[in-house]
Amino acid sequence: MSEFLLAAAGFILAMVALGLIRILRGPGDADRMMAAQLLGTGGIAALLLVATATDAGSIIDVALVLSLVAAFATAAFVASAPRGRQRDEGPPTDPS
């Protein structure tokens, strides 16, 4: 069973590595932040699978810290984002 868990962790890490492309080439900041969230979530999943496969309880603590860092990074991104877009209001249109 541990071989399957380690293989699943390797697969998750391979998919997360593909997410690095979005961070490097993302068209916008929101796309890059979502890719960073993917890195955090995939890293947590891989760490939990490895911890279960190897019976290493301390790796679970590392996954917990990584989840807190990912949550704080998202909160900081949202706090630093502009509040709203200014709409270009042109002349009023005639409804008839």
Per-domain residue ranges of the chain: 2-80
The encoded tokens of residue 12 equal 């998750």
Fill in the DSSP letter of residue 26: -
Q: Considering the chain, what percentage of its residues have pLDDT values greater than 90?
A: 43
Mean pLDDT over residues 41-45, rounded? 93
Mean pLDDT over residues 19-44, rounded? 84
Q: What is the pLDDT of residue 58?
A: 93
Q: What is the pLDDT of residue 91?
A: 62
- Buried b / exposed e along 70-81 (16+ C-beta atoms within 10 A): beeeeeebeeee
Q: What is the pLDDT of residue 53?
A: 94
